[in-house]
Amino acid sequence: MSSPTTILKQYWGYDQFRPLQEDIIRSVSNGQDTLALLPTGGGKSVCFQVPALMKPGVCVVVTPLIALMKDQVANLKRRDIPAVAIYAGMFYQDVERLLEEVRRGKYKFLYISPERLQSKRFLEYCDGMPVNLLAIDEAHCISQWGYDFRPAYLEIANIRSYFPGVPVLALTASATPRVQRDICGKLLMQQPAVFTKSFARHNLSYSVIKEDNKPEKLLHIIQRVPGTAIVYCRNRKRTREIADMLEQNGIAATYYHAGLTGDERSTRQDLWLKGRIRVMACTNAFGMGIDKPDVRLVIHYDVPDGLEAYYQEAGRAGRDEQKAYAVLLYQEAELEGMTDNIALQFPELEEIRDVYQALVNYLQVPVGSAEGVYFDFDINDFVSRFKLNITTAYSSLRIMEQEGILQLSESVFLPSRVEFVTNKETLYDYESMQPAMEPLISCLLRTYEGIFDTPTVIYEKQIARLIRWKESAVVEALLLLHQQRIIRYSQRKDEPQLCFLQERLSARQLRIDMERVKARMKVYKLRLDAVINYARNTDICRTQALVKYFGEKDTPACGKCDVCLQKKEKPLDGIAMARLAELLFEQLDMEPKHWNQVYEQLADEKESHLLEVMQYLIAEGRAGRDKDGRVFKGKG
């Protein structure tokens, strides 16, 4: 058996592991159940990939994100390591073929969603599957006390009976002590080894800024901090608005959210990764599995609803261990609104049933059908058609998912498929009557083996190149052949999927455990309180506040966050304040100005001191701020 360092060098080209990686690898290699908490960018995947390569057999990797599965499979293949992923929306023939190949030992890694793990088809193939390790990524999803609970994770432990003696490695970037205990218990871990890397990021400077004019402050920060940046926003519309504003100010920016097509997301992500776009304005759909070490700045334009999400997203800055900044912007009204909206996040039973009724009407699903069926699902179109509050609708769907009624999955790219549904004699007669179709039909038969017997993946662009047609003409002709029942053509798609895990019921029969929902609401309130307290805090070091939340004690103050820097500053005396007031009045003598313009002219002065004096002057009525956030000299 090869050593861990030999495998690391052979496939990754590194001579040594990052902290804790080798300890985790040796633990699972010795057959021990293991929980590993490694912050974002800590190299979690190596912790299961290396030990799996040290032994014969396949590593089953359970992960909830299709994009992450595809990314890791592609990375492994680039290293000549055979890997495959099975996810929502795949044809059952393809699933069966891949599972049979896994059972025969063709692959070293099988990536699979927790929902697929419980399917009858997968369980049938477990018999004789040579599994050497079960790796559970995003393991915090197993706990209903965590921030991203998925009920399918609760069933993972059942699979252990099929693979006796095979260790489990659970991995997560952030979990409170309560969630850690829940992970070990729900996965039936026997005396698990627990490895926790410090949650402190010594190269990362955290700041929280209370700001009325967020656009101006955002622009000011990005202009002052060079390098690649991410701006996280709560909604899709804001990502576009921020990207446009930055572009108008000469900063290369784009936006990213789950509502874009797969091609759009891939193109924008690629431009950002290559440094052609400096700033990515995005929702939380961006970032998972993306490894860009030189991000210098992460700004949260909106307050996230938990410190777990904030810590993970902020942690995408400075993975190269060089100095980086994480900034949270907030307004007091925003914090109050988050508390007021809790009722929308946890709707009543009647509201959930109303959303369910609207959903089955929208998808035209009759009672008693649809179990296990996947539907394209656009939540924005859904709420628009039925005039629903999007927060209530999404929260109701999330509760139904947590109750095992349905499953929502991210956008899935499914390539086009064609199957001939006529016999060869009829096809010959059709070609005689429609000679214009002959090049396309001949190309399909010549290029794609088995297309007469089974649905076969085709690529319209490839066909267009072979027969020298435009791609749009190929698609139009395939649709015509489909309408004329010569072929069955399933056009490629890239849309979120919704699957009913139970047969469709009448809305009155829908059962939701509201006591469990209320318990989750209580935990959500605590999580919300924690992030609100973090934003309002002006006394405790930001790093100390964050790591304490995750159960880490006795961490020294970082010395570089806004709280620590404020404590280091000497208070301004009367002479210094008078000098700075005079400088500010000189700038404001002509007309109102945005703060960026003021500071540009006084860049030799400490900005925090200038702000302190400006706020004092406004409070005294000697200066003011207009509705656009511009400051001006008072009349007194």
- What is d(CA 496, CA 67) in angstroms, rounded to the nearest whole number? 12
Mean pLDDT of 84-97: 81
Q: Is residue 511 located within the same domain as residue 425?
A: no
Structure tokens at 60: 């089953």
Is residue 123 one of the residues assigned to a domain?
yes
Q: Is residue 268 located within the same domain as residue 382?
A: no
Is residue 568 one of the residues assigned to a domain?
no
Domain with residue 261: its CATH number is: 3.40.50.300
Neighbours of 552 (CB within 10 A): 17
Is residue 514 one of the residues assigned to a domain?
yes
Helices (H), 135-208: 177-186
Q: What's the pLDDT at 410?
A: 64
Q: Is residue 271 located within the same domain as residue 346?
A: no
- What is d(CA 501, CA 405) in angstroms, rounded to the nearest whole number? 5
Q: Is residue 47 located within the same domain as residue 108?
A: yes
Is residue 610 one of the residues assigned to a domain?
yes
* For residue 276, pLDDT beyond 80: yes
Contact call for residues 63 and 137 (beta carbons, < 8 A): yes
Q: Is residue 508 located within the same domain as residue 477?
A: no
* For residue 346, pLDDT beyond 70: yes
Q: What's the pLDDT at 373?
A: 82
Cα distances (angstroms) measured from residue 489 to each of 417, 433, 600? 6, 21, 61
Q: Is residue 447 located within the same domain as residue 319?
A: no
Q: What's the pLDDT at 613?
A: 85
Q: What's the pLDDT at 252?
A: 97
The residue among 196, 220, 245 that closes a domain is 196
Neighbours of 61 (CB within 10 A): 26
Domain with residue 403: its CATH number is: 1.10.10.10
Mean pLDDT of 386-397: 93
Q: Which of the four pLDDT bands, split at 50, 70 and 90, describes residue 606?
A: confident
Is residue 566 one of the residues assigned to a domain?
no
Q: What's the pLDDT at 574?
A: 83
Q: Is residue 19 located within the same domain as residue 142?
A: yes
Neighbours of 449 (CB within 10 A): 9
Structure tokens at 388: 């629903």
* For residue 92, pLDDT beyond 80: no
Q: What's the chain's average pLDDT?
A: 90
Neighbours of 55 (CB within 10 A): 15
Q: Which of the four pLDDT bands, split at 50, 70 and 90, describes residue 88?
A: low
Q: What's the pLDDT at 289?
A: 63
Is residue 394 one of the residues assigned to a domain?
yes
Q: Which of the four pLDDT bands, split at 50, 70 and 90, describes residue 412?
A: low
Contact call for residues 301 and 243 (beta carbons, < 8 A): no
Specify the pTM.
0.79
Q: Is residue 162 located within the same domain as residue 81?
A: yes
- What is d(CA 176, CA 140) in angstroms, rounded to the nearest whole number? 9
Is residue 528 one of the residues assigned to a domain?
no
Q: Is residue 449 located within the same domain as residue 361?
A: no
Mean pLDDT of 535-543: 96
Q: What is the pLDDT of residues 158-185, one digit of tens each?
A: 999 999 999 999 999 888 899 999 999 9
Residue 594 sits in which domain range?
574-633
* For residue 238, pLDDT beyond 90: yes
The residue among 196, 220, 248 that closes a domain is 196
Q: What's the pLDDT at 533?
A: 97
Count: domains in the chain: 5
Q: What is the pLDDT of residues 493-521, one digit of tens each?
A: 767 788 898 899 999 999 999 998 999 99
The SS3 call for residue 467 is helix
Q: In which order are the strands placed within the sheet that holds 168-172? A: 83-86, 109-112, 58-62, 131-136, 168-172, 34-37, 193-196
Looking at the DSSP assignment, which residues form a beta bridge with residue 194?
Answer: 35
* For residue 636, pLDDT beyond 70: no
Q: Is residue 355 located within the same domain as residue 440?
A: no
Q: Which of the four pLDDT bands, split at 50, 70 and 90, describes residue 89?
A: low
* Cα torsion 596, 602, 603, 609: sign: negative
Is residue 560 one of the residues assigned to a domain?
no
Q: Is residue 253 located within the same domain as residue 366?
A: no
Q: Which of the four pLDDT bands, split at 50, 70 and 90, describes residue 393?
A: very high
For the purposes of burial, counting CB atoms within 10 Å of the CB of 126, is it exposed (0-12), middle (13-18) or buried (19 or more)?
middle
Q: What's the pLDDT at 180?
A: 93
Of the chain, the percentage scoring pLDDT greater than 90 comes to 59
Q: What is the pLDDT of residues 29-79, one digit of tens each?
A: 999 999 999 877 668 899 999 999 999 999 999 998 777 888 889 889 999
Least reliable range by pLDDT among 47-51, 116-120, 334-338, 342-346: 116-120
For the purposes of burial, counting CB atoms within 10 Å of the CB of 21, is it exposed (0-12), middle (13-18) or buried (19 or more)?
buried
* For residue 623, pLDDT beyond 90: no
Q: Is residue 211 located within the same domain as residue 153?
A: no
Mean pLDDT of 567-583: 83
Contact call for residues 458 and 414 (beta carbons, < 8 A): no
Q: What is the pLDDT of residues 295-336, one digit of tens each?
A: 999 999 999 999 999 998 999 999 888 999 999 999 999 999
